[in-house]
Structure 1
Amino acid sequence: MVYFVGAGSGAPDLITLRGVERLKAADVVIYAGSLVNPALLQYAKDGCRIHNSAEMTLEQVLEVIKDAEAKGETTVRLHTGDPCLYGAVREQMDILDTLGVAYESVPGVSSFCGAAAALNAEYTLPSVSQSVVITRMAGRTPVPDRESIKSFAAHGCTMVIFLSSGLTGALQEELIQGGYDGATPAAIVYKATWPDEKTFRCTVSTIHETMTKNNISNTALILVGNFLGRDYERSKLYDPAFTTAFRAAEQ
């Protein structure tokens, strides 16, 4: 059996209870060493064989899994955040399907959640934005033309931008060309929930300057939108004049 486990956003206590149980039971752990906090490996039992996938190809990862399966062992594939976001898990699962190997996904806390927590922010504020776009700049990994930063910026909703720390000059240009005013609030969260987490508030027009001034070149999320501002409407859910399925409006 193979378990694809979300390691969480960095802090070792942000992995789920289910994820910890899977780690404790594993005979083999293959972890994404470029991003997963190695402190999580403390949950592995004595004798567990541990592999760092940052130094491996997909084929090498699969060979380790096949070897464990042949021995009747349990493998945990430990991915950063939640495996469903930029986790490259589909290609692994498709091959496991062809091999007849059973697997299961265990969700994790994504860094986009950790970034909001670091800023005490809410992405979906009434009258401001009710949608969150999670995306990235095109780099060595391409992005479909219809999903460019510029095209998403035209909606003016909340944006969380992954994997773009080294492209912030072009990023802020695309955001402005797409429709964001240069004065729109933005924030940079470096290593969300890690011990060395850092947060920087800025505007769309100063994203690149802020990154450069603070020597941030990787492992950061860039958040954009008026959810970072001060103006919003109160939620109807807790409005005394609003009737819900659980209480009547006050007269």
Structure 2
Amino acid sequence: MTTTIDNSKVYFIGAGPGDCELITLKGYRILAQADVVIYAGSLINHDLLHYCKSGAACHDSASLSLQEIIDLMKEGIDQGKLVVRLQTGDLSLYGSIREQAEELAKLAIGFISVPGVSSFLGAASQLGVEYTVPEVSQSLIITRMAGRTPTPELESLELFAQHQTSMAIFLSIHDMAKVVEKLHNQGNGYPMDTPVAVIYKATWPDECKVTGTLNDIASKVKEAGINKTALILVGRFLGEEYYYSKLYDAEFSHEFRKA
């Protein structure tokens, strides 16, 4: 099977959470053919660049401005080259592709997105858990704490915590104590005995997992020296309570099986 390539467009590829084998097959095939690769150097596993062909021009975007990134893309497209923007996890979560797409549109340059595996999925796999446990939690909130980039008023951690459902919190590990305060919200959010897991660089070789409850997770994270590149998972899905689903229950009838 081959992937048809359109050199007139920029390919945005989700690189996955860290493990080099967690890039999609489609993403790998396109990356292996790329002439120009602009990668999020501070976030992706640099070993992914070993998939690039000899002679590919690889640019670390960590020190580049948006305009400099767009200029590299335009230069490559104008020369008929295959241009890839390699970004961490999946593009649809905190990927900042909208602003890049808007600038490309001004230049009449299209783009194609190739999804990736998000770190919230990689973290769950490393813990061996599922966010949606029957009768315990059937919803997942993916969010972040307000910081230099604000969050909408109705999307504060305090308001989300009232639901007490499963939550994956990005880009907030730098102030774990503040996260705990907002999640508990003076008793209006999660109870202090709610299970919490912090995963540093999920699926990477140097991954580190810290587990606890809202009572002690801040001190445990501080002791572990984790202050960036980590995901915070909160909710009873991490606890001991669980119930079997009805899907495979021998006494439960559905379209494909009679009780």
TM range (shorter): over 0.9
Retained in 2: the 8 A contact 1:185–1:203? yes
**Gaps (5+ residues) in structure 1?**
none
Compute the TM-score of the two structures, normalised by the length of structure 2: 0.94
Counterpart-to-counterpart distance in 2, 1:33 and 1:13: 18
- Secondary structure of the residue that 1:73 maps to in structure 2? coil
Q: Matches of 1:242 and 1:100 in 2, distance apart?
A: 55
What is residue 112 of structure 1 aligned with on the other side?
A: 120
Deviation, structure 1 residue 102: 2.0
User: What residue in structure 2 maps to residue 148 of structure 1?
Assistant: 156
- For residue 106 of structure 1, report the CA deviation from its aligned partner: 0.4
Q: Report what 2:74 is aligned to.
A: 66
Distance in 2, Cα, partners of 1:4 & 1:245: 40
Contact 1:137 1:149 in 2 (8 A): yes
Encode CA deviations 1:73-127: one digit per residue, 9 max, x unaligned.
1110000000110010011111222221121100101000110011101100001
TM-score by length of 1: 0.97
> Counterpart of 1:85?
93
The whole-number CA distance in structure 2 between the counterparts of 1:139 and 1:207 is 20
Q: Specify the code of the residue in structure 1 equivalent to 2:182.
A: E
- Contact preservation (8 Å) 1:2, 1:76: yes
Could you tell me which amino acid in structure 2 is paired with residue 25 of structure 1?
Q
Task: Work out whether residues 166 and 217 of structure 1, in 8 Å CA contact, stay in contact via their aligned partners in 2.
Answer: yes
Which of residues 20, 23, 31 is equivalent to 2:28? 20
- Give me the whole-angstrom Cα distance separating, in 2, the residues matched to 1:244 and 1:200: 40
Number of equivalenced pairs: 249
CA distance in 1, matches of 2:230, 2:137: 22
Q: Secondary structure at the match of 1:76?
A: strand
What is the letter of the counterpart of residue 138 of structure 1? A
Structure 2, unmatched stretches of 5+, are 1-8
- Give the partner amino acid of 1:183: D
Whole-angstrom CA distance in 2 between matches of 1:190 and 1:42 = 24
Say whether residues 1:183 and 2:193 are aligned partners: yes
* Residue 131 of structure 1 pairs with residue 139 of structure 2: yes
- Alpha-carbon distance in 2 for matches of 1:207, 1:98: 46
Q: Runs of at least 4 residues of structure 1 off by over 4 A?
A: none
* 1:133-158 Cα shifts (integer Å, max 9, x gaps): 00011111111111110100000100
In structure 2, the residue matched to 1:222 is: 232
1:165 aligned residue (173, 192, 213): 173
Residue 126 of structure 1 aligns to a residue whose secondary structure is coil
Residue identity opposite 2:212 in structure 1: C
1:193 corresponds to which of 190, 195, 203:
203
> Residue 22 of structure 2 aligns to which amino acid in structure 1?
L
**Contact 1:137 1:167 (8 Å CA) reproduced:** no
Shift of residue 184 of structure 1?
A: 0.5
Match of 2:6 in 1: none
Residue 212 of structure 1 deviates from its aligned partner by 0.5
- Aligned match of 1:3 in 1, 4, 11? 11
Equivalent position to 1:246, from 241, 251, 256: 256
Q: Secondary structure at the match of 1:3?
A: strand
Percent identical pairs in the alignment equals 51
